């Protein structure tokens, strides 16, 4: 049972009213009401976000920044309003520090292919951690192979927490970049990014923070954090897919080479020479994902209207409740016991493959994620092929947690 004080906190959020804003939650899967617990992969979208997409295509579909006609001006204004909204949401100093990309993956690659190729030399060192998503591993491996640089890895303890003393020992005069997940997509562990950044800066290194899993759950203030880059995706914040953000400190972005060549990222083009555009457009070549960027502003407004603090308390209540319920299931072992976690739980079950459990849960309308979660090195660290991951959002309920635990008990019985 949950403490009464925790129950009271959870009641400050009207989950029933919130659920009514998400049309997909009304559907059935395999003849049963949908229980969607795969929010770490992507969140569902409120009707207001869907309406914003429809409104753009219905009423003012046009290309942006180039046209002088009414539709183009309306579309441009709406697009740039999202940039301003993102700036406020993460407390960036300037709007030109907000770069639109296709997602966290492209944001990280942008830094690797521009800042990295210009600044990383043979023998330089880049530090990441055992907890990283493949998107924060592979770009740095490619860069290190190309530049003959060295990739170093921060180890973790059994709870899935970074070993900070080991991290401090890895830092040195050759460290040029630390690229770190704010929160693990596979375990939920929240990393102490302020300390990581402080120590890295003292060693003369820049820091990129992968905020894909943290931005929807935690208050983000890039100035207080003092990160040099921060990357995240709209679709994990109740927004559309195909839209991401790269924040970078202005002086660093200005010094970086361009990423993609084409329209918009130029000031003047001749066959002899091209002059590149100012920030942020220098990194936004071609026609962007206009509709989804515009709708992302509506998603941010949804979060602000509900309230980040209320959302966080509700999700943490679900995490505490789900952890207690899952611990009562014989043969179930939770992977990742960090003291600070976002609202997801990874676990394995004795003598059962995660995929088999996932299929049996889906037969009961319960959506979870199974596998290595694009974190194969982390799974190898725990000597497991993968986990079952349940991840929670603002619209999830304790009743859905009960459905999960009931479904797990039935699945285990079927497989035994």
Closest CA to 148 of 177, 126, 129: 126
Active-site annotation holds for 374: yes
Angle separating helix axes 398-415 and 308-326, nearest 10 degrees: 30
Joined together, the tokens standing for residue 165 give 């003393």
> Following CA atoms 324, 329, 331, 335 in sequence, which dihedral angle do they give, to the nearest 10 degrees?
-30
**Among 144, 227, 374, 381, which one carries the catalytic annotation?**
374
Joined together, the tokens standing for residue 251 give 């002086």
Q: Measure CA of the first residue to CA of the last residue in the chain; give whole Å.
A: 28
Other CB atoms within 10 A of residue 282 CB? 22
Q: Quick one: DSSP state of residue 272? A: S
Residues found in the chain: 416
Give the Cα separation of 120 and 123 in Å (integer).
Answer: 9
Closest CA to 40 of 315, 344, 305: 344
> Following CA atoms 109, 115, 120, 125 in sequence, which dihedral angle do they give, to the nearest 10 degrees?
-60
Q: Distances in Å between the alpha carbon of 64 and those of 82, 211, 239, 269, 302?
A: 13, 28, 20, 19, 25
Contacts of 380 (CB under 8 A, 6+ apart): none
Cis amide prior to 368 (ω within 30 degrees): no
Give the Cα separation of 18 and 248 in Å (integer).
Answer: 34
Which residues are known catalytic residues? 374
């Amino acid at each position: 049972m949950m403490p009464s004080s925790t129950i009271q906190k959870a009641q400050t959020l009207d989950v029933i009213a919130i659920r009514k804003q998400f049309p997909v939650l009304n559907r059935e899967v395999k003849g049963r009401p949908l229980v969607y617990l795969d929010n770490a992969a992507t969140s569902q979208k409120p009707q207001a976000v869907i309406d914003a997409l429809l409104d753009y295509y219905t009423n003012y579909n046009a290309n942006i920044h180039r046209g002088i006609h009414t539709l183009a001006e309306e579309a441009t204004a709406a697009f740039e309003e999202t940039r301003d909204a993102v700036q406020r949401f993460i407390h960036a100093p300037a709007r030109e520090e907000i770069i639109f990309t296709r997602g966290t993956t492209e944001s990280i690659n942008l830094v690797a292919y521009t800042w990295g190729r210009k600044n990383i030399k043979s023998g330089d060192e880049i530090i990441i951690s055992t907890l990283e998503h493949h998107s924060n591993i592979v770009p740095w491996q490619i860069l290190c192979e190309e530049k003959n640089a060295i990739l170093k890895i921060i180890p973790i303890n059994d709870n899935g927490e970074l070993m900070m003393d080991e991290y401090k020992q890895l830092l040195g005069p050759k460290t040029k970049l630390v690229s770190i997940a704010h929160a693990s997509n596979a375990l939920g562990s929240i990393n102490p990014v302020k300390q990581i950044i402080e120590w890295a800066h003292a060693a003369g290194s820049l820091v990129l923070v992968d905020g894909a899993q943290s931005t929807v759950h935690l208050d983000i203030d890039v100035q207080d954090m003092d990160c040099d880059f921060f990357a995240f995706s709209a679709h994990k914040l109740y927004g559309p897919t195909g839209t991401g953000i790269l924040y970078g400190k202005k002086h660093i972005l200005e010094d970086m080479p361009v990423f993609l060549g084409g329209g918009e990222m130029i000031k003047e083009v001749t066959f002899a020479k091209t002059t590149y555009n100012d920030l942020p457009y220098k990194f936004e070549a071609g026609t962007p994902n206009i509709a989804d960027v515009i709708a992302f502003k509506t998603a941010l407004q949804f979060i602000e209207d509900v309230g980040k603090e209320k959302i966080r308390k509700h999700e943490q209540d679900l995490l505490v409740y789900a952890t207690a319920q899952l611990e009562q299931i014989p043969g179930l072992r939770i992977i990742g016991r960090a003291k600070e976690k976002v609202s997801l739980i990874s676990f394995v079950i004795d003598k059962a493959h995660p995929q088999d459990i996932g299929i049996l849960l889906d037969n009961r309308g319960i959506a979870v994620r199974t596998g290595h979660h694009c974190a194969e090195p982390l799974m190898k660290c725990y000597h497991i092929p993968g986990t079952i991951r349940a991840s929670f959002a603002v619209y999830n309920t304790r009743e859905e947690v009960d459905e999960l635990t009931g479904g797990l008990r039935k699945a285990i019985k079927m497989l035994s």
